[in-house]
Structures are given as structure tokens and as C-alpha cells.
Amino acid sequence: MKVHDKLYINGEWVASTGSDHEDVIDSATEEVIGRAPLGTAADVDKAVAAARAAFDSWAATPVDVRAKYLRDIGTGLAIRFEEIADTISAEVGSPKSFAQMVQAGLALGEWENFAALIETYEWEETVGSSLVISEPIGVVGAITPWNYPLYLIICKVAPALAAGCTIVLKPSEITPLNAYILAEVIHEAGLPAGVFNLVPGNGPVVGAAISAHPDVDMVSFTGSGRSGAEVMKAGAATVKRVGLELGGKSANVILDDADPAAVAMGALFAAFLNSGQTCSALSRILIPESRKDEFLDAILGEAALMKLVDPKADEPDIFHALGPMSSKAHQDRVNAYIQKGIDEGATLALGGPGQPEGFEKGFYVNPTVFVDVTPDMAIAQEEIFGPVLSILTYTDEENALEIANGTIYGLHGAVQSGSDERAIAFARRMRTGSVDVNSGGFNPVAPFGGYKQSGNTRERGRWGLEEFLETKSLQLPG
């Protein structure tokens, strides 16, 4: 069992001012595998003071030096790759192959991406008689979730450090162990004291203290819409910048000229990615009424191949292997949504509520598919965050667009067609921050973020860096 009893503040491992801790539970075995302290508001004060004291020096550090630190951190994480993958697999429940390829693999690549970016970024620009300068915003509070715990931490920490900001990080109390690995690597890389600080804890205490703190210049938050609204409210009193990356109920629109067999596997993988615990999961599939039976046969045939697995097993098929939910509370929440879908009158085509057969332990949920779903149902409107797919039908393209855009969210989406031109034209009309067109591949340097209640920020690439920058203009003498 990995027991942590310290916080990382001002370059040192220090005791919390409080005495509470949180046990970390293995999602598959329900056994305690670790422990981390629950920080306090006083701990946040200490961490913010350290970050504030370190800011001027770090902001003035030359770009090439900051880039070297980023690369050194990336190298340090790469050395501990297997440990990171195994840790996240146990914390979250991600199957081992998925944890290696996505949870750990994506997290490692961001350090080089941002190191290379800041070496070529135009930090100053002459506009007429003015010199326009990009500068770090200051002390950043980063509050991160449990579903892709290290990757989503790094999507904030790497660009903030690259920009010249100092950081106070609060990881999810459900999955703190991977954050400790990052802190240990940062310490070994010799990052100056106070530039990075780790205060684990829960949202109502540590998250609230970070959000309201007058010496925090920006809060970058990823999580639920409800929690994001609380962060924004807490930050409003000091008019700090608040970047929110929130939930989604993303639609995969399959146009009537698409090939059912060609789109089925990708549609299921995109819906059940990380057991559906993905904010950008394509959890609604829209199919044309005119070809309903063809598409249903293909989609349900693919869905039947989904299987629950032991996350520790060497399961090479990442397209069909699903692990457990991250916690008992979340398992109960997802099962409640499945029951709600039944109660609302949707047709249960696969799966259903309850502990899956053959899995007496573990927070598993049956892969579940509903058909005959109408746009007004809760399972078509609300983010479930589990392996639950809703299939809806539409009459024509305008009706498909209305359904796709007809939620409070606008994070992600997809469109499939026999014509790239037709698919792109439809994608342009979707009110969402990103759209996969005919199974277009994942791009780690493209911007990611949402419209509407999916948030107000963009992460990754140049756009992710610029979230942590202020713009200053100097009006020069003629």
C-alpha cells in the first residue's frame, strides 16, 4: 500500500495542518491501495504564498531554461512509465493496455509538445506604434478530476509552467497517487522551490480555498458543471480568470449515406472510451429513420462484443475491454441512470442495472445500450459518465442537427458520411468545440474545450498555452 502523509509546498515535503486523510480504493478489488492527506485552507495559504514568492523569478526565467525543465520532467515520468500506468489502472479502473497507451502515454507527450512550442512562440509583436507582449498570468490554481487523472493534470501544469506561471495543484481525492509521482519527478528535476505545489484534498475545502484566494490569479478547473459553477462563483469576488472544462453529452451523427459496418466499431469505442468515463464520450448515436434497422444491426452487433475485464490482465483489445467505475458512489449513479432510462420508456437492447454476472467485487457496470430513445429523455440530455449508449433516430439532416445541438452541452461531437464534403458541412453547423469527421484521428496539439455549459476554456497546443498568458501593449514614442 502506498501511504503519503505529506504535502509538497515550496520545494519540500511538509505535514498538513490538518489530520484527515482519504483512502484510495482499487476499483476492481475494492481494497485499500493507498492513502493521502486531505489538505486544509491553511495549507492552501502556505502553498499560494510559496507560489507567489516564486513567481517573479520563474516568470523571468529564459524560455530555453523553462523548456529544459519541461523536458527533464517528461524524461523523469518516462522512467516511471510502468508505475504510472499500473497506478492509474488501479485508481481509475482503466484496463492495463488502455492505461499504458492513453492514461500514461498521452501524459508523457505533453512535456515535449509545450517545450517545443515555447521555443518558437512569438512572445512579442509590433502592431503599428505598439509593442504587444505576452506575459504569464501569475499564480495558477489547478483543480483536476479523476477520470484521466495525470493527463488532465499535465494539460494544466505543463502549459502553465511553460508560460512562466507558478502553480498550486489540487488533484482529485479519489485518484491522488499519480499526482504524487508527478510531484516526486518535479522535485528530482530540480524545479525551483515554490514553482509547483501539491495540496491534495476535497473540493469544498481545498478547491474552494484555491478558487477564492486573493493571491491566485487564475483557476483552471476540469470537472462537473455543478462544481465548475461553484468555482466560478468563488472566483468572482476577486475577478480572477476562471478556465472551465466541463461535461458533455456528445452526439455521433451518422448520415444516411454512411456504411453501417464501417462506422459501428468506432462508434462503440467512442461511446465506451475509458468505460464511458470520458467528458467527450460520444454517448448519443443519431441514425436515420430511413435506414434504422441496418444501423441498429451493425451497432448492436458491435456492442455485443464489449466485455468487462480485470484491469490488471494483459488484455490487448482496447476497443472492446471495459474496466470498472472509479468508485462505488459512481457505480450507483450510473446504475440509477440505467434504471431511469428503463422507467422513461426507452428500449433496453443490451445490459441493464445491477452488479454484472461474474464480478462479485469491483465497481463494474454492464455495458448498456438503449434504443427508441427520444430527445427529451434524461439519458439523452444528461451526462451519465459510464458505459451507457443512447440511440436516437432522425428524419432528415435538419432534424439531426436540431437533436445534436439540443442539449445544454457543446463539448464534442462526430459526423459520419460517405462524403467528406457533406460531413464537413454538417460538422460546421454543430455547436460544439470539436468534431470528429469520418473518424478523423485524435490530435494532441489541437484545441480542446466546449461551447455552452461545457465550459469556456481551451486546452492543448498553442491555445492551451495562451490560456495562461496576459497581453500587454506598450505604446512606443514615434
Sign of CA dihedral 419, 425, 427, 429: negative
Residues 66, 67, 73, 77, Cα dihedral to 10°: 160
Sign of CA dihedral 59, 62, 65, 70: positive
Q: How far apart are CA 68 and CA 415, in angstroms?
A: 40
Grid cell 462524403 in the structure block, residue: 419
**Which residue in the list 91, 230, 245, 383 is annotated as catalytic?**
245
**C-alpha distance from residue 418 to each of 310, 315, 340, 421 (Å):** 38, 33, 35, 9
Tell me the sheet residues that pair with 169.
142, 198
**C-alpha distance from residue 54 to each of 143, 156, 370 (Å):** 20, 18, 53
Q: How far apart are CA 460 and CA 445, in angstroms?
A: 5
Q: Is 245 a catalytic residue?
A: yes
All three cell numbers of 35, joined, read: 492513502
Amino acid at 401: L
Q: How far apart are CA 426 and CA 435, in angstroms?
A: 10
All three cell numbers of 223, joined, read: 470537472
**C-alpha distance from residue 443 to each of 109, 147, 157 (Å):** 12, 19, 19
Q: Is 155 a catalytic residue?
A: no
Q: How far apart are CA 416 and CA 265, in angstroms?
A: 12
Q: How far apart are CA 30 and CA 28, in angstroms?
A: 6
Q: What's phi and psi for 222, nearest 5 deg?
A: -125, 130
Of the candidates 157, 159, 211, 163, which has an alpha carbon nearest to the alpha carbon of residue 179? 157
Of the candidates 84, 92, 89, 87, which has an alpha carbon nearest to the alpha carbon of residue 109? 84
**Which residue in the list 173, 279, 302, 315 is annotated as catalytic?**
279
Q: How far apart are CA 19 and CA 254, in angstroms?
A: 53
Q: Count CB atoms within 10 A of the CB of residue 10.
A: 18
- The CA radius of gyration of the chain, in Å to the nearest whole number, is 23
Yes or no: say if 51 and 213 are a contact pair by the CB < 8 Å rule.
Answer: no
Grid cell 467528406 in the structure block, residue: 420
Amino acid at 197: N
Beta strands across the sheet bearing 32-37? 2-3, 32-37, 21-25
Helices (H), 345-419: 378-381, 397-404
Catalytic residue numbers read 245, 279
